[in-house]
Structures are given as C-alpha cells and as structure tokens.
Amino acid sequence: MDKSDSLTILLVDDDLDVLGAIARFLRTHDIGVVVAESAHTALQRLQEQHIDAIVTDLRMPKSNGLQFAVSARETRPLIPIVFFSGYAQVPDVVAAMKLGAVEFLEKPIDPDELLKVINRVRISHHGTLTTQRLAFDGLDQGYPLKMRVLAYEKYLIESSLLQHGGHISSVLESLQVNRRTLNDKMSKLGIKRDALIADTVAGNSKPAD
C-alpha cells in the first residue's frame, strides 16, 4: 500500500541484526524506515531527507543515544524520539524522558509495541499538528505570548478532534467547553474538522491506547 500520509522514521542501532529485523517489520506495516548504524550516520540522514520520528538505541559504541538526541534536536527541535535500551539505568531513562522522549522501550523490542508507539506518533504529529507544535513549542522566542497560547489551544483542539474521530460532541465533553465557543474557536483558529477526520481514515482513527 502506498499512502501519502505514511511516516518515515529514522532507526538507529549499532546492532545490524536488530536494525534489519525491525526495519523489515516496520516496512511491512507501511512505515518508511531509514536506517543508521551510528549516531554520526544518523545525523547525516537527518539532514539529507525528511524524517518524521527517530527510534534510537540508548547505548551505542561511540556516541550515546542521549548525546545523539541532543544533536538531533539541534537540527529538528521537536522531532519525536523513541529510545530503547537493554540495560537502562533509572538515571538514563529519566534523562531521556526529560529530553522529551515520547517513549522508552526495553530490549528486546516487542515489534507490536513499537508499532503502537509509532502509530501514536503518527496521530499526535499528524499534518497540521506538527506545524502547530513547532509554533507553540519550538520557537521559544520571538512570538508573542498570545500567539503561542492560541497555537497551543489550536493544538489541543485538533488533538482532541483526532482522538475522538472528529466527533464534536465528544470533544465538547472532553474539553468541557461550550459548543458555540468551540465552533467559534475552530473558525478563528482555522481548524477544519472535515480535513482532520479525512486525514485519519486511512490509518488508525482510534488510538486504542
């Protein structure tokens, strides 16, 4: 299946067996995979082509995963990063999560679990959402408070819409907001319900998480 909305992830691990196995698995599930066996290579790939998310081993021979993540964030400030590791210590995990990791998996990796995580990324960073996240989160300086708050509000509403499959009444209940207010906000913030729900029909529209 060729899907225009499929994700491309950057998979980083020094163990080529693991790299190959996971890459194969993900590709059979319509996820584009770019592999790299070192942090150095990974950073190159990150600059060469479009990557939607990073899945990386925490422990690698030369540069460790955290260091790599920091470098990666310099290029792509808010790219979602998923770590995995076989012998993670608590401080490592804490550091990774503080960096804003979306998930931290243990080796050996359960492919289905990884797939679930990636699908979650697919949803929360979908299309217009990604732009919004950048708007309110990445550019720490230079944007007025009001604009950033509005961008966040837009992001929250779009997320809720996606999570409820475009079902407005559910969103109203979830966000506990007046129906008229929500409509006005969506109009003002340029949120198109139709566009959002059309986006998700191809993949999983329900994050059963």
Q: Where does this chain bind a copy of itself (CB under 8 A)?
A: 88, 90-91, 93-94, 97-100, 103-104, 106, 128, 130-131, 133-134, 136-137, 141-146, 148-149, 152-153, 155-157, 159-160, 163, 174-177
Cα distances (angstroms) measured from residue 181 to each of 153, 166, 206:
13, 17, 25
181 lies in the site for DNA, by CB under 7 A: yes
Closest distance of CB 166 from DNA, Å: 7
Segment interacting with DNA (CB under 7 A) among 5-13, 36-44, 49-57, 184-192: 184-192
Question: Six-digit token pair at 163?
Answer: 């999570």
Phi, psi of 124 (to 5 degrees): -70, -20
168 binds, options a copy of itself, DNA, none, Cβ within 5 to 8 A by partner type: DNA
In the list 67, 89, 131, 187, the residue contacting DNA (rule: CB under 7 A) is 187
Q: Number of residues in contact with DNA, rule: CB under 7 A?
A: 17
The option from DNA, a copy of itself, none interacting with 99 (CB < 5 to 8 A, set by class) reads a copy of itself
DSSP per position, 159-185: HHHHHTTT-HHHHHHHHT--HHHHHHH
64 contributes a contact to DNA by CB under 7 A: no
- According to the binding rule CB under 7 A, does residue 188 interact with DNA? yes
**CA 15 – CA 26 distance, rounded (Å):** 17
Rule CB under 7 A: say whether 113 interacts with DNA. Answer: no
**Between 129 and 168, how does the x/- string for binding to DNA read (CB under 7 A)?**
-----------------x-------------------xxx
Q: Compute the distance between CA of residue 56 and CA of residue 203 in angstroms, rounded to an integer.
A: 24
C-beta separation of 3 from 202 below 8 A: yes
Q: Rounded CA gap, 73 and 77, in Å? A: 4
Instruction: Please pick, from the candidates 59, 73, 120, 193, the single residue that binds DNA as defined by CB under 7 A.
Output: 193
| Cα 185 to Cα 187: distance, rounded to the nearest angstrom | 5
Say how far apart CA 202 and CA 14 lie, in whole Å. 33
Q: Can you give the binding site for DNA, defined by CB under 7 A?
A: 146, 166-169, 177-181, 183-188, 193
